[in-house]
């Protein structure tokens, strides 16, 4: 059975392997022992911490095959970005150049450096190992986070965002960054991306252009990738769009990948989720449901087929499934139909 749970210190070796496998542009999984161990420790502390409003917590989860003990993937939630380290984006806007005397009216796209998402909750670090990219695993590894946020609402902002990986080649070269590098920096994209991943962001404030950038002045290659996602990221973007996320003109400062956002109460899985009491009983057939327990520190989530009436206050769970979720008769679960 596939179960999602909080990461533990013992998971470090496989987290490091996934960081290597994730490749260039995956900022939230830097190939750095100290940083990854720090992420795990911070996550463990966040799950234990008493919280009444979102702050600097970070929740890191893993997908485990309970039959073999293999860790197949990971995903995370940052409760509130930009409170400790500045969270930068470019906003794609417009300015109008007009002259009545000359009969000229021209709309021009510009990119403006901003910190508009400060305090927002971020979905991040979604990675499923290539040999375990089976039907539904990636979807579940993303969607269960909406159940977690709905259950522990006080821990998260109402504004939920996700930065989507932008266009880069197999060597980690970004057409957008190449233009910035030529005019403002002397470091390549993988280096800049890695420095950001390990928290060394001061160079952004020091070297990034302080004034809006006219998009028409960028190279044709750079212009072509603004707001576009990496080929491997398209399924993740489509999944979030199906949940109600949309783009609002914000892009990454390194590869120009889009940022999508939604209000938590508008996200389909969170909005349609229900809290029901458990009854241990055999189940056959039914509809597919994503289910989680309501124990923060011992959180578990998985998916199965169930029969759930619209007016039900209870749900029957097979004994094996209930055991995987660490729930007993009379406990509570949160679930959403898939």
Q: Is residue 233 part of a domain?
A: yes
Closest CA to 239 of 87, 128, 78: 128
| Claim to verify: residue 172 and residue 296 sit in the same structural domain | no
- Has residue 53 got a pLDDT over 80? yes
Looking at the whole model, is its pTM more than 0.85? yes
Task: Tell me if 62 sits within 8 A of 1, measured CB to CB.
Answer: no
Q: Is residue 101 part of a domain?
A: no
| Burial environment of residue 326 by CB neighbours within 10 A (0 to 12, 13 to 18, 19 or more) | middle
| Claim to verify: residue 260 and residue 317 sit in the same structural domain | no
**Active-site residue flag, 307:** no
Q: How high is the pLDDT of residue 193? A: 67
| Claim to verify: residue 21 and residue 63 sit in the same structural domain | yes
Q: Is residue 95 part of a domain?
A: no
What CATH code is carried by the domain that includes residue 228?
3.40.630.30
Closest CA to 278 of 324, 337, 318, 338: 318
What CATH code is carried by the domain that includes residue 307?
2.40.40.20
Q: Is residue 285 part of a domain?
A: yes
Tens of pLDDT along 187-223? Answer: 776 677 666 666 666 667 677 787 899 999 999 999 9
Task: Please tell me the least confidently modeled range out of 8-17, 119-128, 179-188.
Answer: 179-188
Among 269, 292, 313, identify where a domain stops.
Answer: 269
Domain enclosing residue 291, as ranges = 273-337
| Claim to verify: residue 330 and residue 238 sit in the same structural domain | no
Q: How high is the pLDDT of residue 285? A: 92
Among 254, 269, 284, identify where a domain stops.
Answer: 269
| Claim to verify: residue 188 and residue 326 sit in the same structural domain | no
Q: How high is the pLDDT of residue 178? A: 86
| Claim to verify: residue 23 and residue 133 sit in the same structural domain | yes
Q: Is residue 8 part of a domain?
A: yes
Q: Is residue 64 part of a domain?
A: yes
| Claim to verify: residue 295 and residue 323 sit in the same structural domain | yes
| Claim to verify: residue 168 and residue 295 sit in the same structural domain | no
Q: How many domains does the chain have?
A: 2
| Claim to verify: residue 226 and residue 324 sit in the same structural domain | no
| Claim to verify: residue 154 and residue 195 sit in the same structural domain | yes
Among 222, 239, 269, identify where a domain stops.
Answer: 269
Q: Looking at residues 262-271, what average pLDDT do you find?
A: 97
| Claim to verify: residue 224 and residue 318 sit in the same structural domain | no
Q: Is residue 92 part of a domain?
A: no
Tens of pLDDT along 88-117? Answer: 899 999 999 898 898 889 999 999 999 999
Which one-letter DSSP state was computed for residue 265? G
Annotated catalytic residue: which of 230, 266, 305, 307? 230
| Claim to verify: residue 144 and residue 184 sit in the same structural domain | yes
Q: Is residue 303 part of a domain?
A: yes
| Element at 138 (helix H, strand E) | helix 137-151
As a whole number of angstroms, the distance between CA 210 and CA 2 comes to 47
């Amino acid at each position: 059975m596939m179960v999602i749970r909080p990461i533990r210190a013992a998971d470090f070796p496989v987290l490091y392997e996934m960081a290597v496998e994730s490749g260039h542009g995956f900022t939230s999984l830097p190939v750095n022992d100290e940083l990854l161990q720090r992420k795990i420790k911070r996550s463990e502390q966040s799950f234990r911490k008493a919280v009444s409003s979102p702050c600097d917590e970070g929740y890191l989860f893993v997908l485990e095959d309970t039959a073999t003990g293999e860790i197949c993937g990971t995903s995370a939630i940052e409760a509130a970005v930009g409170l400790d380290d500045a969270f930068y984006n470019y906003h794609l806007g417009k300015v109008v150049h007009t002259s009545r005397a000359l009969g000229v009216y021209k709309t021009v796209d510009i990119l403006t450096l901003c910190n508009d998402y400060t305090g927002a909750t971020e979905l991040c670090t979604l990675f499923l190992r290539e040999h375990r990219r089976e039907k539904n695993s990636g979807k579940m590894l993303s969607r269960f986070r909406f159940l977690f946020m709905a259950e522990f609402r006080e821990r998260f902002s109402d504004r939920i965002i996700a930065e989507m990986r932008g266009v880069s080649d197999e060597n980690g070269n970004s057409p957008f960054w190449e233009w910035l590098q030529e005019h403002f920096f002397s470091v390549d994209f993988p280096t800049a991306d890695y420095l950001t991943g390990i928290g060394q962001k001061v160079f952004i404030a020091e070297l990034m252009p302080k004034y809006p950038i006219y998009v028409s002045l960028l190279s044709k290659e750079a212009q072509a990738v603004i707001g576009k996602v990496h080929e491997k990221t398209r399924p993740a973007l489509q999944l979030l769009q199906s949940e109600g996320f949309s783009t609002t003109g914000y892009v990454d400062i390194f590869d120009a990948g889009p940022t999508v956002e939604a209000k938590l109460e508008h996200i389909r899985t969170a909005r349609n989720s229900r809290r029901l009491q458990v009854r241990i009983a055999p189940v056959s057939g039914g509809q597919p449901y994503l289910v989680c327990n309501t124990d923060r520190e011992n959180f578990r989530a998985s998916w199965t087929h169930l029969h759930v009436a619209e007016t039900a206050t209870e749900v029957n769970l097979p004994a094996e499934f209930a055991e995987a979720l660490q729930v007993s008769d009379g406990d509570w679960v949160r679930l959403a139909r898939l």
